[in-house]
């Protein structure tokens, strides 16, 4: 059984604060080559802003100067490091999620798991058992 902690890259968390703008988040996403940023108040996860959120904002005629607190997804689903990767991958598929924060037992964000990470590992397991 492969666990989330075997796949997630620790320390690769890209984040903004709720008062940053959508444009700030998009610039960070571009410079770090990621599809999401976590929205943090100090060490507390309060939301996530993704490429899908950007598409929604733009399609609604939204302004890129909109604060992330008004643009982010608030009900963030997350994984724990000890969880089975296949189970987490299925949860991501069921909820149409491509980026999932990983939270340790003390409530700290330790990484972000992408659907690409899940697929890459599961395909490697299948190809090289």
Looking at 3.40.50.620, 3.10.580.10, 3.30.70.1520, 3.40.30.10, the CATH number of the domain 4-127 comes to 3.10.580.10
Per residue in 78-111, pLDDT (tens digit) is 999 999 999 999 999 999 999 999 999 999 999 9
Query: Taking 60 as the threshold, does the pLDDT of residue 129 lie above it?
Result: no
Q: In the prediction, which pLDDT does 105 show?
A: 92
Lowest-pLDDT range of 1-10, 18-27, 76-85, 89-98: 1-10
Reported confidence tier of residue 45, pLDDT bands at 50, 70, 90: very high
Does the reported pTM lie above 0.85?
yes
Kindly report the number of other CB atoms within 10 A of residue 111's CB atom.
22
**Residue 128 confidence class, pLDDT cut points 50, 70, 90:** low
Delimit the domains of the chain by residue range: 4-127
């Amino acid at each position: 059984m492969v666990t989330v902690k075997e796949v997630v890259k620790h320390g690769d968390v890209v984040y903004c604060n709720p008062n940053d703008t959508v444009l700030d988040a998009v610039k960070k996403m571009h410079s770090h080559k990621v599809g999401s940023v976590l929205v943090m108040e100090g060490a507390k996860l309060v939301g996530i802003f993704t490429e899908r959120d950007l598409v929604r904002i733009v399609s609604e005629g939204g302004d890129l100067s909109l604060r992330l607190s008004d643009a982010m997804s608030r009900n963030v689903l997350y994984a724990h490091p000890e969880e089975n990767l296949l189970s987490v991958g299925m949860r991501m598929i069921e909820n149409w999620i491509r980026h999932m924060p990983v939270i340790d037992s003390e409530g700290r964000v330790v990484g972000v798991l992408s659907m690409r990470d899940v697929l890459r590992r599961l395909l490697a397991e299948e190809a090289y058992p």
